[in-house]
Amino acid sequence: MENQGKKMLESAQALIKKTAEKLGLKEEMIRRLIEPEMVYEFSFPVKMDNGQVRILKGWRIQHNSALGPYKGGIRFHPETVREEVQALATLMTIKCAVAGLPYGGGKGGVAIDPKKLSSAELERLSREYVKKIAHFIGEDVDVPAPDVNTNPQIMAWMIDEYQKIKGYQSKATFTGKPVSMGGSLGRTEATGRGGVIVLKALLSELVKDGSTKILSRLNSSLTLLKQKVSKNFVSPSFNNQKLKSNNEITIAVQGFGNVGYYFAKIASEAGFKVVAVSDSKGAIIKPKGDKLEALDIPLVMECKKEKGTLAGCYCAGGVCDTKGGKTITNEELLELPVDILVPAALENVINDKNMKNIKAKIIIEMANGPVTEEAYEYLSKKGVIIVPDVLANSGGVTVSYLEWVQNKAGYYWSEEEVNSKLEVMMKKAFEAIWEKASKKKIPLKQAAFEVALEKIVSAMV
Ligand code: NAD
């Protein structure tokens, strides 16, 4: 997977370079924006249950700290390589700047398949990894969090080990902890919730008359969506407004994990019509005539838990809401005639092979990198609005920041307070990018990178 990591890194660096050149930055500044400030690469021993010792390879990469301490998750994955960790650290710098957080970007990783480890082995791995990074992280230096295959339990082992090594309490050094250890309420749902906040903010802009600058180059199907939105929102500003119950704004969500499930659930609660969801085994829909019916998302989740897969829910004897439904493939889900498409599972799923078949007018990139560069350009030219991952899925790191603030203050907010702060911060982040995109008539991704680089450069001496 070295090549995939290399490709990812080259693409992140090329995006920064292209944006920096457009902003007229000097060569030396571009180098500083591309190169990581610190790369820690190490090997370390972990004792297995059978008494054998495995030597594992790990990384912590600190990309840029102009805006504050490095921030970014730690992933455990067999195919993790240095280039991938560096690419992800680079994108965290951009994401934190886009989200308006006082953080730089970092990322960590261990090349290991954690699914093949017992719980005791996983705990020893987590503690040994922390022994390697403890002296160059800290609440005002570098603040790790969960990522692929790591979770609140692993953060609990890590913070415990860190505090033992340091000999003092420092809860704010890791985020994504269990609530009992200083984690924030609302963190589990935060990424999905943040995506819905951004979607609502986008639709709210689309129905404003002043949005015609950006709408002028939009295709007729988006104009139709604008009419639909205007008809269905009780008020165009719709602060905390629900859509009217008879709304027809349809959404398909790929991925039914942490991000996809909460996006689908919160979007349904807000009145959107979620008509398709999928997991790795396939997608489900409920056709009625030439239309697709709304799925009852919590019921679908109940069924997935019972059957193991979403496909298993199809015609499940009337116990689940998908009775009368149909399974389709993940590829077919992406090409459904819906208003809004939400890839929330894997990278590169919308690419040169299927971009011409995409019918959605808005794509919300909830996964990291689900739309390839080529497809992004093609679809943007066609008038499809694509909300980039660095903005769309920044709700998770935003609530991580709120967790850090609470830990440092020793004062804890209710879930409603956390959600309302998340809403304010996500809307502000969206508005800055929307304004830049409208003013310069550029796609949201380009605007996001420009907003981020301007902030970072202004903080660099
Ligand atoms: P998860 O492991 O909880 O869920 C992943 C989902 O994708 C599962 O439903 C799985 O069945 C599905 N899936 C796997 N392979 C698939 C395939 N081939 N086709 C369709 N679906 C498939 O992961 P998550 O935390 O929901 O993360 C999803 C994406 O969002 C990743 O790209 C992740 O990097 C990104 N992300 C997550 C967070 C977060 O807070 N969890 C934050 C930012 C970005």
> What amino acid is encoded at 461 in this protein?
V
Atom 20 (ligand 1): residue with closest C-alpha?
A: 280
Q: What SS3 class is residue 242?
A: coil
Model pLDDT, residue 147: 94
**Low-confidence spans in the chain with pLDDT less than 70:** 1-2, 209-224, 229-247, 314-324
Contact between 63 and 83 under an 8 Å Cβ cutoff? The reply is: no
Residue in this structure with the two tokens 């913070």, named with its chain if needed: 159
- For residue 370, the ligand 1 atom closest to its alpha carbon is 32
User: What is residue 294's DSSP assignment?
Assistant: P
User: Which has the closest alpha carbon to 344: 320, 312, 368, 326?
Assistant: 368
Q: How does pLDDT run across 53-70, given as a tens digit for each residue?
A: 999 999 999 999 999 999
What Rg value do the Cα atoms of the chain yield, rounded? 22
Of the candidates 107, 226, 228, 265, the residue annotated as catalytic is 107
User: Which has the closest alpha carbon to 149: 218, 99, 78?
Assistant: 78
Q: What SS3 class is residue 230?
A: helix
Atom 8 (ligand 1): residue with closest C-alpha?
A: 257
Model pLDDT, residue 219: 52
CA 172 – CA 350 distance, rounded (Å): 37
Model pLDDT, residue 221: 57
CA 172 – CA 406 distance, rounded (Å): 8
The region, left, alpha or beta by phi > 0 then psi within -120 to 50, assigned to residue 317 is left
Model pLDDT, residue 378: 96
Model pLDDT, residue 28: 96
Contact between 358 and 343 under an 8 Å Cβ cutoff? The reply is: no
Q: How does pLDDT run across 138-165, given as a tens digit for each residue?
A: 999 999 999 999 999 999 999 999 999 9
Q: Is 397 exposed, middle or buried (0-12, 13-18, 19+ CB in 10 A)?
A: buried
The answer to whether 107 is a known catalytic residue is yes
User: Which has the closest alpha carbon to 218: 447, 441, 42, 453?
Assistant: 441
Taking the centre of ligand 1 as the mean of its atom positions, its distance from the CA of residue 145, in whole angstroms, is 16
Atom 22 (ligand 1): residue with closest C-alpha?
A: 280
User: Which has the closest alpha carbon to 278: 260, 295, 303?
Assistant: 260
What is the CB < 6 Å shell around ligand 1?
Answer: 191, 254-260, 278-280, 330, 344-346, 366-368, 393, 396
Q: What SS3 class is residue 179?
A: helix
Taking the centre of ligand 1 as the mean of its atom positions, its distance from the CA of residue 193, in whole angstroms, is 15
Q: Which domains does the chain have, with CATH numbers?
A: 2-18+25-181 (3.40.50.10860), 190-387 (3.40.50.720)
